[in-house]
Amino acid sequence: MAISRSGMGKQLLRPGKVKKVMHEFKAGTLKSSSGTPVKKKEQAVAIALSEARRQRRPRRPKRAK
């Protein structure tokens, strides 16, 4: 039994992070990596999904030297 892609995406994202970024966009305080304010909704969505994906990724522990 295969898992649909649309169902997987909803499980892997962090809705709270997406909501926070979209709130920043609507308030006009969301900035891109270059520091310029974001003006397009599509760019805000891309930033939100990228940050949610980055937050979900497991981190490897640093090795002690």
pLDDT tens digit sequence for 4-49:
555 555 555 667 888 899 999 999 999 998 999 999 999 999 998 8
Q: Please tell me whether the overall predicted TM-score, pTM, comes out greater than 0.75 for this model.
A: no
E strands, 1-65, where? none
Domain assignment present for 1: no
Domain assignment present for 5: no
* Residue type, position 3, single letter: I
The answer to whether residues 21 and 12 touch, using CB atoms and an 8 Å cutoff, is no
Domain of residue 19 covers: 12-56
The pLDDT of residue 24? 94
Number of compact structural domains in the chain: 1
Domain assignment present for 36: yes
Domain assignment present for 7: no
Domain assignment present for 65: no
Phi, psi values for residue 31, rounded to 5° = -120, 150
Domain assignment present for 39: yes
Domain assignment present for 62: no
For residue 31, what are the β-bridge partners? Answer: 37
